[in-house]
Amino acid sequence: MEDPADAVEALWARPGDAPDLGAFLADHPNWSPSELRAALLIDQHFRSRTSLPWSTEEYLALVPTLEADDDLTLDLIFSEVRGRSREGNAPNLEELAGRFPHLQERMGRQLEIASWFEDASGSDLQPVDEDSGRESDAAATRFGDYELHEEIARGGMCVIYRARHRNLKRIVALKMIRPERLTRAADLQRFKNETRIIAQLNHPNIISILHVDQVDGIHFFTMHMVEGRDLESLRTAYLDDVRLAARLVSSVAAAIHYAHQHGVLHRDLKPSNVLISDSGVPFVVDFGLASRLSEPRGLKPSDEFCGTPAYAAPELLQEHSHPASVAADVYGLGAILYVLITGQPPFAGSNAFEVWNKIRESQPQLPRSLNTRVDSDLEAICMKALEKNPASRYASAAVFAKDLDRYLAGNPVAARPIGWWQRGARWLRNHPVGPALALTAVILLAVIAVQSVSLHEQVKHTDAARQEAESYRRALETAKENVEHFQPDAAANQSPSEKPSEQR
């Protein structure tokens, strides 16, 4: 599965002249209209920064089948306007109307609204104190009953402002669609979907909606203003206190379970979608990709990747996969926990396609190898939530939260770390040795495994059993070292015909 935007971005990463987009598109005759749209827009993003940017008409001429797509045309026009504005050669509405007369009204409204955003985001504003007696801030931009102050967040589809209700003098977070996306029906539908979903949720760790309305056709809603930072900006803040990270994620998991109970899947869980207030309370935000459990076909599959690909569950990256389930959100929770206790996402790469391949085909590094403060129980919890197979993860966000709570209370956890005897068995599978040594190793591993299972049951009950377990562990560790000593020797003594072929 090749992502068009990533493929075009890779073309621009190559040294040399600007790529031949026409030839590239000819090599992909089976791309759908949405894939062609993505390719054109990402190429325009890069080409507009060269000395020879293309006009909107030149892009449409490459794909004649898309010339009637007014939404695409408006996206290209808007990007062209921004590119030419950077060069001090911004086109005016009269020029654009002459080129695209059938879009004059829509272009005029879009450019007018865009100017509001540019003025508001470019001004040097200070937050308005809720107790302030001022009726208005002259630097703010008026938007219906609200004054827009500084921009506080921006995503692929929406922008969020700190705003003040002019009559109530209340500071809120006001979310609306970005100006260049106003004319796209699919985005408006997604925005309305998010509004309806959040409105039905009432949980202390989910930011609630205060007001829903529209101004001059621009749909928006307001939320309680949370003073704080998102977990993406705090990804290394918990490396020395992994228990606090576990406690935060447990609270987030409880909120997600509440959403599941109300038939809502978040589908875009990642550190930037969790805010931590100045008092340390986590809040789940951005339900823009959320869907209802009863309506699995609500959004296009491509919408799964509007967020950060590194946090998408493996099953969401498969073609013809089943609709997302609660297991996908459990994976997202595990990915957030992984970031907080290691300082990095489970998978990373130079582009989304590389990340997707790693998610599907490889395992993340064990957290303890990245942070020595992570113990085996917390690592086991995290890795269970990140299992490739959805059925192998926690059955629900609530079960995940309960295991974190058991960990925090110092009780045995439901997740089981992969024991060294299991690692040894995997080593034997991948590195065959002679029959006699293999049999000896298997017997030793079996004996140790049986003892360990018995040991684990004893650990659950009394302190005395734990003390006895410690002596067993020391004996078992000695046996482990013996096994590990003769495995390399056995491999070295094999005849050439017995040596295994190199593993991929």
Residue 488 to residue 466: CA distance in whole angstroms: 33
> Of 290, 204, 285, 282, nearest to 249 (Cα)?
282
Tokens in use for 269? 């869980």
Q: Which residue has the tokens 């995940």?
A: 400
Cα-based angle 416, 421, 426 (whole degrees, multiple of 5): 95
Give the 3-state DSSP-derived string for 40-59, with helices as H, strands as E and coil as C: HHHHHHHHCCCCCCCCHHHH
In sequence order, the 6+-apart residues with CB closer than 8 A to the CB of 8 are 19, 21, 24, 39, 42, 43, 46
Strands laid side by side in the 209-215 sheet: 141-143, 146-154, 158-165, 171-177, 218-224, 209-215
Residue 357 to residue 374: CA distance in whole angstroms: 27
238 and 274 in contact (C-beta within 8 Å)? no
Cα-based angle 41, 46, 50 (whole degrees, multiple of 5): 130
Catalytic: which of 3, 137, 187, 268? 268
149 and 279 in contact (C-beta within 8 Å)? no
In sequence order, the 6+-apart residues with CB closer than 8 A to the CB of 12 are 18, 19, 43, 46
b (16+ CB within 10 A) / e for 86-97: eeeeebeeeebe
Tokens in use for 264? 């809502």
Give the 3-state DSSP-derived string for 169-237, with helices as H, strands as E and coil as C: CCEEEEEEECHHHCCCHHHHHHHHHHHHHHHCCCCCCECCEEEEEEECCEEEEEEECCCEEECCCCCCC
Tokens in use for 56? 């909107």
In sequence order, the 6+-apart residues with CB closer than 8 A to the CB of 284 are 205, 206, 207, 252, 255, 256, 259, 266, 269, 273, 274
Annotation marks residue 268 as catalytic: yes
In sequence order, the 6+-apart residues with CB closer than 8 A to the CB of 383 are 334, 364, 366, 367, 415, 417
In sequence order, the 6+-apart residues with CB closer than 8 A to the CB of 27 are none
The residues pairing with 283 across neighbouring beta strands, listed in sequence order, are 275
b (16+ CB within 10 A) / e for 441-474: beebbeebbebbeebeeebeeeeeeeeebeebee
Q: Which residues are catalytic?
A: 268
